[in-house]
Amino acid sequence: MNPVGTLDVAGRATHGYTLVPKSKANAPFATAAVWIDDSDATIRQFEVTETSGVKRTVRLTSFQPNAKVDPRAFVFTVPAGARVVER
C-alpha cells in the first residue's frame, strides 16, 4: 500500500492509497486505489484497474453505516417455470 495524495471527493477531503496484488499471477486486478475520508475514515471512492487496462471508479456519495435494511429486500422468488439447480 502506497500513499498517492489527496483528493476532494464530493466535497470531502480524502487521502488516497494504491493497492497492488502480492502476486500478479491470476490476480483479479492490476491495481486499486482507495480514497479515505480525513474526518470520519470512511471510504469515499475506489478505483480498480483491471489487467486489461480497463479502469472502474466508484464514488460513494451518501454512505450511512449500519443502516436498517428491510430483510424483504433480499428475498428472491423463483419465477414460474424456472429450473432450480441445487449444488
Whole-number pLDDT of residue 23? 85
Residue 64 sits in which domain range? 2-74
Whole-number pLDDT of residue 27? 86
- For 30-87, strand residue ranges (E) read 31-37, 43-49, 55-59
Whole-number pLDDT of residue 63? 82
Cell match 494504491: residue?
Answer: 18
Whole-number pLDDT of residue 62? 85
- The answer to the question of residue 32 being in a domain is yes
Per the structure, the count of domains in the chain is 1
53: domain CATH number?
2.50.20.30
Express each pLDDT in 19-75 by its tens digit. 999 888 888 899 999 999 999 999 999 999 998 999 999 999 888 889 999 999 999
pTM: 0.71
Whole-number pLDDT of residue 16? 98
CA angle 68, 45, 58 (to 5 degrees): 85
Query: How confident is residue 18, by pLDDT bands cut at 50, 70 and 90?
Result: very high
User: Sign of the CA dihedral 26, 16, 63, 65?
Assistant: positive
Cell match 490476480: residue?
Answer: 27
**Measured between alpha carbons, how far is residue 77 from residues 38, 44, 73 in Å?**
42, 33, 11
